[in-house]
Each structure stands twice: as structure tokens, then as C-alpha cells.
Amino acid sequence: MNAHEIDYRIIGDDMQCVEIELDPQECVIAEAGSLMMMDNDIQMQTIFGDGSGQESGFVGKLFSAGKRVLTGESLFMTAYTHEGGGKKHVTFAAPYPGKIIPLDLSQLEGKAVCQKDAFLCAAQGVTVGIEFQKRLGAGFFGGEGFIMQKLEGDGMAFVHAGGTIVEKELQAGESIKVDTGCIVAFTRNVDYDIQFVGGIKNTFFGGEGLFFAKLTGPGKVWIQSLPFSRLADKIIASAPKMGGKRKGEGSILGGIGGLLDGDN
């Protein structure tokens, strides 16, 4: 294997973390800010890009790191290396409620494509790059834009997503339609396209947006029940208003009660 061979344990239910077990000189890379805790003999090092060594020289590393900016991530990642003896552990936490999905890239034909902010951590040697959408429709209307994250290699990688995760195995030619924000990841042979919802009533009053993502097999697909954007919209809608009350607070009638009380 080119990537370091790591063991792991996922802890928790709705607010999960992943504990990585490292042998001496083994290393795991992670997004900045995802660390929860680590043992004493593990050393941190800030690196450009993913530290996979795919590009040589400073310019190559800068280009590798710069690609991450296109996916909305930081120029830097953090490498955690076990510099002592025996087995040590480092733990990373998901940034919002949901699940952590382990991806064994050696069992997934060496590649997985995921939404831009899904990557959490991976064994050193896994390449964290960008995947351009080849179709204009998928780029403009796919919810993730033209650029998604690409994980390549033969090691373990971990991505996180919101709510409950549904894993589907699509056969050759089998398709499913998914809300564009609910896609977490899919394997290399899955075809990703955008399909118009259709119908005037569906378009304006359906509440599901104008487009579906159409995923066609063969391959695996991971789907989340609660995209972060949907969670954020609900939080914003329930945030305190200028008057200091939350939406519908203080009356069993909610917003109507506010009108009757003279609050609106």
C-alpha cells in the first residue's frame, strides 16, 4: 500500500468522532480545526495541501494547496505523526450533527467523489484533490457548483455528513433522483447529472427546488438526510428577531398570535 495502513473506531451516535490508532511513524492528515484529542507522543505539523507527495517542489506543493481553495477549504492541512513507541490514538470530531463515513479506497477502485466540505481526515498517502463537473447543467445547477472534492489512493478516508446516512449500491444503468444538497459521496463509475423537476406547480410550489441530481450506476452512493445548508436555514429562521423574540414565541397561535398581540 502507498497510504499508511491505519486502524480506527467511530464513537457516538448523532455527534460522532473517529479515533485513529497509529503505529510508530504512521501518520494521518486532517482538516484544520477538526482535532478533538491526541496522545502525548503524536506530533502535529501544518502542511501545504494533503501531504501525499504527488507534486514535487515548492511550486507543485503550492499548486496542490491552491486547488483546495477552490473547494472552499484552507490552504493548509495538519499531519499527525506517531513519533513514539507502541500504539497511540488521535481523535477527530465532526463539525455538526450527523455521521462519519469510513471509505476504504482500496475497496472502491481507488477513488471517491464527495461534496466540497465533507472531508474530515485520511491516512497519509491519500490524495485530496478537486473534481470538475464536465456537464454545464451539473455545474450550474447541481448545488455543489463545478467543483467537488476527490479522494484518491488505497488507504482509509473519512467524510462527514448531516443526519442519517443511506448507502445505496446502484447496478449498471440503475438511476436514482436525489435532492442536490443530499449527496455526500459516490464512487468513480457513478454518472452525475442534473434533471429539471418539470411542471409549473412543481417548479413554483413544490418546495424542492428546480433540479434533481440524477445518479446512474454502477457504483455506490452515500446520501444524507440533513444537509448542513438545510440545518442552517432552519436555525436562521428560528433566530431572535429585532424585537428580541423568536419566530412565533410567546403565543400558542405563533405568528398569528403576534399580530393579535400587536407585536408585528
Give the pLDDT band (50/70/90) at residue 180. confident
Asked if residue 147 lies in contact with residue 192, where contact means CB atoms within 8 angstroms, the answer is no
103 backbone φψ class: left, alpha, beta (φ>0; ψ -120 to 50): beta
- In the predicted structure, residue 6 carries a pLDDT above the cut 80: yes
- Quote the distance between the C-alpha of residue 214 and its chain's center: 19
- In the predicted structure, residue 199 carries a pLDDT above the cut 90: no
Biggest CA pair distance of the chain: 70
Superfamily covering domain 7-238: Mitochondrial biogenesis AIM24 (3.60.160.10)
C-alpha span between 210 and 54 (Å, rounded)? 39
Q: In the sheet that 165-170 helps form, which strands lie side by side, from edge to edge? A: 127-132, 147-152, 111-114, 183-187, 219-224, 165-170
Q: Looking at residue 236, what is its pLDDT?
A: 83
Asked if residue 132 lies in contact with residue 70, where contact means CB atoms within 8 angstroms, the answer is no
pTM attached to this predicted model: 0.77
Q: Domains of the chain: which residue ranges? A: 7-238
Give the pLDDT band (50/70/90) at residue 1. low
Tell how strand 88-93 and strand 76-82 pair up: unpaired
- In the predicted structure, residue 208 carries a pLDDT above the cut 90: no
Cell 491552491 belongs to which residue?
Answer: 66
Count the alpha carbons within 13 Å of 99 in the hemisphere toward its beta carbon: 15
Give the pLDDT band (50/70/90) at residue 148. confident
Give the pLDDT band (50/70/90) at residue 57. low
Tell me the β-bridge partners of 153: none
Cell 464527495 belongs to which residue?
Answer: 114
- What is the arithmetic mean of pLDDT over 86-91? 96
C-alpha span between 72 and 228 (Å, rounded)? 15
Cα→Cα distances 19→48, 88, 136, 155, 171, Å: 24, 10, 40, 16, 33
Of 50, 53, 78, residue with least CA distance to 66: 50
Q: Which helix (H) or strand (E) segment is 222 a member of?
A: strand 219-224
C-alpha span between 98 and 16 (Å, rounded)? 7
Least confident of 26-30, 116-120, 130-134, 260-264: 260-264
Q: Looking at residue 59, what is its pLDDT?
A: 53
Selected residue with higher pLDDT from 215 and 66:
215
Q: Looking at residue 73, what is its pLDDT?
A: 58
Asked if residue 155 lies in contact with residue 4, where contact means CB atoms within 8 angstroms, the answer is yes
